[in-house]
Every structure is written in C-alpha cells, then in structure tokens.
Amino acid sequence: MIELAGVTKVYPGGVRALDGVTLSIGAGELVAVTGPSGSGKSTMLHMLGTLDRPTSGRVAVDGHDVSRLSDRQLSALRAFRIGFVFQQFHLAAGASARDNVADGLLYAGVPIRERRRRAEAALHRVGLGHRLRHQPHELSGGERQRVAIARAVIAEPALLLADEPTGNLDTASGAGVMAVLRELHATRTTVVVITHDRDLAAQLDRQVRMRDGRIESEAVAC
C-alpha cells in the first residue's frame, strides 16, 4: 500500500523534517507512527497522504509513484483512495451529522440524494445511526470523532490516515474511537495512526517510532 524509499524533506531554512526514511506498509495493516514533538510524524503524514512531495527519495501510495502524478491526479488519489481523520474533527457547525459525512463525496460527482444515502450507511457503520440529524454541538467529543471517521470512509478508501484521533478525547471516548478503527481494519482497510501516545501505539499491530526525522525503531505485536 505504501512505499517510502530514502525519503528526505527539507523545508526553507534548512530544517530537515525527514532524513532518509525507508518504510513499507502492506495492504490491510494496522500501524502506529509515534514519536515526540518534532520527530517528523506530521511530515510523515503529509508524505503518506500525498499532501506534500519529498525533497528527495521515492514515495509510492496504492501502486502510484507520487512523483509521476500531476496535482490533479494527486487530488483524485486523495479523494478516492485515501481517507483522513484529524484531531480537531473539522465538522461544519450548523450541519447535521449526515450532511457533514455526505460532504466527503462533495467533489466526487455523486448526486445529493445518493451522498446522503451513503452518509447514513457510513454513520450506521460507526454506530451513529441514531444521531443522523444531530449537529456537532449536540454530539459528544467521541461522537464527533466518529462522524469524522464516517466522513473519511464514505468513499471506501483503501488507506485511512488518522492524525492524533484520540488526542482531544477522554479515555472512554478514545477507546471507542480506536474500536471503530479496528473494525475498519478488520474489513481490510489499511489504517495508519499518527500519535505521540506510546500506550495507544502499543495496542496496535505494528509500531514505527520516529526521532529527529528518522525511524528509530519498529516493533510488531506478538
């Protein structure tokens, strides 16, 4: 699903966020990328999600060499093959859970009625079939994060990238969100969780620990 080969990312001013990273993630894996602040996790997310291009090295996602794709092709890859879940939820205030999720297909040319039908199915999938018409302010933090997950998976992406998905949640809500991600993984979705939480990372099947822009260690759960 993902291949990084000797990937380096240098920002203006000479800041080296990634330094020769080589990583392979197979289809259907459940992986945590962890490390302290400034370790390169966010830049890694940008590479995995094709949100940025490396300074040097090769990035391939879902069989596509990112360097060979135009901006339009990259946008299409993100829209149809990659789902994103962020710590801050990014839900539209004043819109129902159903319509927030339906927006995940806004640029896919899907008619509004079909978008809403698929949004309802996605919300049922994450256990929120009873909250379709509730607005974000009427939902708990855990429920809002599950809405965000439903929006990310409405297009049935092959790869789901979750950036600190439990960072703003209490322990119980965070456990619920991780249970949803595990259920998605069970359907063969490749799930990569970016987190600074070592305890959370230890619960996942594979852990990739970063420091100073490099992979410091890797571990696989027994």
SS (H, E, C) the chain: CEEEEEEEEEECCCEEEEEEEEEEECCCCEEEEECCCCCCHHHHHHHHCCCCCCCEEEEEECCEEHHHCCHHHHHHHHHHHEEEEECCCCCCCCCCHHHHHHHHHCCCCCCHHHHHHHHHHHHHHCCCHHHCCCCHHHCCHHHHHHHHHHHHHCCCCCEEEEECCCCCCCHHHHHHHHHHHHHHHHCCCEEEEEECCHHHHHCCCEEEEEECCEEEEEEECC
Q: Of 44, 51, 8, nearest to 25 (Cα)? A: 44
pLDDT attached to residue 179? 86
Whether 158 contacts 189, CB under 8 Å: yes
pLDDT attached to residue 138? 95
- The CATH code that applies to domain 29-50+72-220 is 3.40.50.300
pLDDT attached to residue 86? 84
- Number of neighbours of residue 38 by Cβ within 10 angstroms: 13
What global pTM score does this model have?
A: 0.88
pLDDT attached to residue 211? 94
Q: How far apart are the first and last CA of the chain?
A: 22
pLDDT average per 10 residues of sequence, the chain (222 residues): 94 91 93 91 91 93 90 87 86 94 84 92 90 94 90 88 86 84 87 89 91 91 66
How far is C-alpha 2 from the chain's CA centre? Answer: 13
pLDDT attached to residue 21? 95
